[in-house]
Structure 1
């Protein structure tokens, strides 16, 4: 029985070693890009890449585990069991070697690790082969052959531990329990651990140097994890208009249309403030405006609303954090049944506030008390210009972390000190914080309201309010612009329909010493409009943000708020609203029929754009 267990462990260990080996080969292959990494950079690539290497090892070990379990009960000759395993190892070795060799060759041209995009080109083998240089083909074939040979050799060594001899039913019973226990650990390796985030490419991202992040990525995982997306024809998801008609309709809506670069109305006292962006988890307008026995649930948001710029008609673009983040930070509309954040090859080339501001000398950092691997956030943030990410793994507080991470009390206190420290550094900065306590299960160290949702929201409001008071009392406040905006709304009260406009209405407040004075902004807008509006106030070009409209610009395009839900869209402006449900192909609301065409255009263009990236 010991040999059986030893065999499974040996397969897992051998696979990990083989996966780790790919990384120094990749970095040596691209020695020029790796030149500045130093020994510490190489070690960091190996260490951070290990999580996905363990995941791939978990997948590879699953079949040997099943074979070992079957061999305890099924009476077959040991030679046959060994033949099955040998064939399996050869198949794994050849597929892995081909993926690795192709990935190494294509990275030079693609700039990202191999994913299912390659299958698009292989649909026409003749054309694909015509674009392959002969000697390149020879070189990569040799690399694949050498790597496959090494893998097969090492796996054959592990077969020495295999024991397929028959055992009695008592031994088989105990052995089955042991193997099932090992299967549990194997599942954890496949899942990527016990945390909230499952295995994804973002787990290995650790640096603002994208080459190091790519070097840490396991190409086998990158390829296999993207297979589910390879057949998606995004442009055909919502075929409302033919291409010329779609282009013409979108031209009237795009944020960077001719004339949109006209000087915007100034609302700041300086064109180069330090910027703090606080993304508020689930802060819905319905909760912000709620009162319990006459007492406001969010007294600090109500107070801050009167002290700064208050955007009365502001809407979230989605109902999920990952899509709301992309809308806020990249000015890119949310999708219905997918999330571009989960497609690194496509999300990496989105425009972003951080990238634009870092290009103008701003230091950019993003902080979160939870796990930024969740929904590929770290991958997206690093790729779009955030130079530093600080999250749960980097933080150590006396208080125990909650389900989602460190609560808003400790994070807001820590973040206030961080902003003050950044200000003292003298370099202009963009610092963002994503809160988390106002998220289900609403477990917070606070007891003010009986309703757990309202109580958690009140807790986060108190934490944010205290953070703003701390900043206001510091020298940093004088040159600071603080943007408070929700990532999405929340279905409160419970009778609120998932697709109606009020469900997606959220607060946005601009405050800080850099704000010229209190104002109430009535313009209809949504999260995608933050990018152009903020950059416009900083005097920075935002022509690469196709969808983002400067709220303070005097010129067209028309101002409206657009959002999506699971399978449909809503559009709201000063004249009414329109909501369309794709599942039933029906109009839900139509108080302003013109907005149906606006929504169809935005939805189709978003998916067409994704298909092109």
Structure 2
């Protein structure tokens, strides 16, 4: 009797998983012209990679039947009561899933992305929405939904044969309850998306630079339900100015204004191979730190004198996901949200990878950890990175640490990869995100007693060896290596989360493509990297509204802008202004006019997100 209860829970999960998986070949067949351009192996990979999110949806669907099965061990109710409740539940699941799938599979043709909460905007005016639907199209999608719902109901009816609503003896109820609680733990892991650091998100299904395949692998039920909270009125978050005034103020600050002028050349070539190394938590205060007269980061100090050193450079945020978007898309960080976690919006951002791919550059990004974390893979594939390599793709003799393979392994491997790319003759953009200078700071290194500084010293040593290896190879002659932190770090520990020094970070340009060492005093931040690199390559960067070319000789105004949990800071040569939204006041304003600069940037960022 009890074994049937356990089998019922398993069967619910497995049946749901299979019912979700069957959507993939149907979707591919629906778009036969696009699907015909990929291989049979790609069809299988779509199904395989889609199983992660399918499992998450199956976990959610299984949760209620599992709970009712647990209750049935202890509660005596007529068998037909249990069955009616479960029958009604499964019919509801089938109908909702079928409607979502039928709507999604057709809307994809027009939208180019899987169903999300955007559809609710149009359903707010059902007459207008219905008027835009062709009658026979409506019939076809209704029949598709009905057929899929019937299939699901038929499958669940077969599963229901295993359900036994009879209670068991008290002596048996307790141990079998523990078994079901263990199953509940497994179900929770399916909902969460596994044991890794990253939770279930659409990046889990992404596996290819072909976005059609990634979209085909995405579960539309997951995509829709997880985006229900994404339809906030972003433009109303920070209503400092009316729309006309906000737009006028931003026009004087925008990075792609026509008055910027040509960039002062600091490279020997306009077509270098570009290596972008994003350094985990490399704060300027840590870089400048010493212990008993010994520098914590001797290699960064050495490279500072060998290349182009940006003296007054700042991070845009305190989180990696927001820093990456600022670096790679020139888009300002947000306060209490991350646009990277909103695929429907982040996919429309400009990006350095996409701009260089248009010029024939091969683009790849590499990380020793999990790029599914905070939706990084989804964002990167959508914005032009053609190949992503991360922990799941790598096999080294040394075991990975908590966050992934340490910087010693990855920097050495990445240097070899860059050298090999240089031998192909095709221009390339290669990215690397380091990870060892991150909690828990567990590294195979013993230079300093302080655990945090020791980890930073380890990462510095790894990066230094990587640069030296590249310098000794022929690829160096045409290489631009951009070393920049993803965000700062609270060192010393008394450093407040909102002060400007907390957000000050190093940026160094080295490589054979650099014309010569120099110090750049201009105030800038991560959002300015894209325009500055593209400006050196004499490439248009009109789509980067916020990114300013540091080497452009004329306005717009040069400043560094950053955000924290609920506020912003702006720094330039005249001083700083830091504003806290919680208290609604400035906590520092040595240059009060910068408050309106920050207000304009923050409001414009949210208005922009709302319009995407």
CA distance in 2: counterparts of 1:608 and 1:21, whole angstroms:
39
Q: Secondary structure of 1:430's match?
A: strand
CA distance in 2: counterparts of 1:434 and 1:161, whole angstroms:
50
CA RMSD of aligned residues (A): 0.6
**After the TM superposition, which parts of structure 1 deviate over 3 Å for at least 4 consecutive aligned residues?**
none
1:470 corresponds to: 469
CA distance in 2: counterparts of 1:121 and 1:589, whole angstroms:
44
Question: Does residue 200 of structure 2 align to residue 196 of structure 1?
Answer: no
CA distance in 2: counterparts of 1:45 and 1:475, whole angstroms:
39
1:318 corresponds to: 317
2:252 corresponds to: 252
**122-131 or 478-487, larger mean C-alpha shift:** 122-131
Please state how far the C-alpha of 1:121 moved relative to its aligned partner: 1.4
CA distance in 1: counterparts of 2:309 and 2:124, whole angstroms:
53
Q: Secondary structure of 1:499's match?
A: coil
Map Cα deviations across residues 141-197 of structure 1 (whole Å, 9 max, x no partner). Answer: 111110001000000000111111131001211211111011111011000000000
Question: Does residue 356 of structure 2 align to residue 357 of structure 1?
Answer: yes
Please state how far the C-alpha of 1:588 moved relative to its aligned partner: 0.6
Normalized against structure 1, the TM-score is what? 0.99
CA distance in 2: counterparts of 1:35 and 1:266, whole angstroms:
46
2:4 corresponds to: 3
CA distance in 2: counterparts of 1:546 and 1:8, whole angstroms:
52
Map Cα deviations across residues 124-154 of structure 1 (whole Å, 9 max, x no partner). Answer: 2222222222111111111111000100000
Please state how far the C-alpha of 1:539 moved relative to its aligned partner: 1.1
Map Cα deviations across residues 414-448 of structure 1 (whole Å, 9 max, x no partner). Answer: 00000000001110000000000001110101111
1:31 corresponds to: 32
Question: Does residue 279 of structure 2 align to residue 276 of structure 1?
Answer: no
Normalized against structure 2, the TM-score is what? 0.99
Map Cα deviations across residues 220-244 of structure 1 (whole Å, 9 max, x no partner). Answer: 00011111222x1000000001111
1:417 corresponds to: 416
**73-82 or 503-512, larger mean C-alpha shift:** 73-82
Alignment of 1:375-414 (within 5 A): 375-414=374-413
Map Cα deviations across residues 535-585 of structure 1 (whole Å, 9 max, x no partner). Answer: 010111100000000000012100000000000000000000000000110
CA distance in 2: counterparts of 1:132 and 1:335, whole angstroms:
37
1:442 corresponds to: 441
CA distance in 2: counterparts of 1:599 and 1:133, whole angstroms:
47
Q: Secondary structure of 2:555's match?
A: coil
CA distance in 1: counterparts of 2:167 and 2:205, whole angstroms:
43
Q: Secondary structure of 1:276's match?
A: strand
CA distance in 2: counterparts of 1:461 and 1:206, whole angstroms:
31
Map Cα deviations across residues 82-126 of structure 1 (whole Å, 9 max, x no partner). Answer: 111000000000000010011011101111000111111111222
CA distance in 2: counterparts of 1:276 and 1:165, whole angstroms:
65
Q: Secondary structure of 2:168's match?
A: coil
Alignment of 1:42-61 (within 5 A): 42-61=43-62
Please state how far the C-alpha of 1:55 moved relative to its aligned partner: 0.6
1:241 corresponds to: 241
Alignment of 1:279-298 (within 5 A): 279-298=278-297
1:64 corresponds to: 65
2:19 corresponds to: 18
CA distance in 1: counterparts of 2:523 and 2:593, whole angstroms:
15
1:77 corresponds to: 78
CA distance in 2: counterparts of 1:242 and 1:101, whole angstroms:
41
Equivalent residue pairs, number: 611
Question: Does residue 543 of structure 2 align to residue 528 of structure 1?
Answer: no
1:344 corresponds to: 343
Please state how far the C-alpha of 1:413 moved relative to its aligned partner: 0.4
Gaps of 5+ in 2: none
CA distance in 2: counterparts of 1:117 and 1:131, whole angstroms:
16
CA distance in 2: counterparts of 1:396 and 1:364, whole angstroms:
22
Alignment of 1:130-149 (within 5 A): 130-149=131-150
2:89 corresponds to: 88
1:486 corresponds to: 485
2:572 corresponds to: 573
Alignment of 1:539-558 (within 5 A): 539-558=538-557
CA distance in 2: counterparts of 1:519 and 1:183, whole angstroms:
60
1:213 corresponds to: 214
CA distance in 1: counterparts of 2:88 and 2:583, whole angstroms:
49
Map Cα deviations across residues 32-79 of structure 1 (whole Å, 9 max, x no partner). Answer: 111211101101100111100011000000011001001111110111
Q: Secondary structure of 2:278's match?
A: strand
CA distance in 2: counterparts of 1:170 and 1:56, whole angstroms:
34
Q: Secondary structure of 1:427's match?
A: coil
Alignment of 1:109-124 (within 5 A): 109-124=110-125
CA distance in 1: counterparts of 2:306 and 2:606, whole angstroms:
39
Gaps of 5+ in 1: none
1:537 corresponds to: 536
1:224 corresponds to: 225
CA distance in 2: counterparts of 1:532 and 1:390, whole angstroms:
26
Please state how far the C-alpha of 1:263 moved relative to its aligned partner: 1.4
Q: Secondary structure of 1:587's match?
A: strand
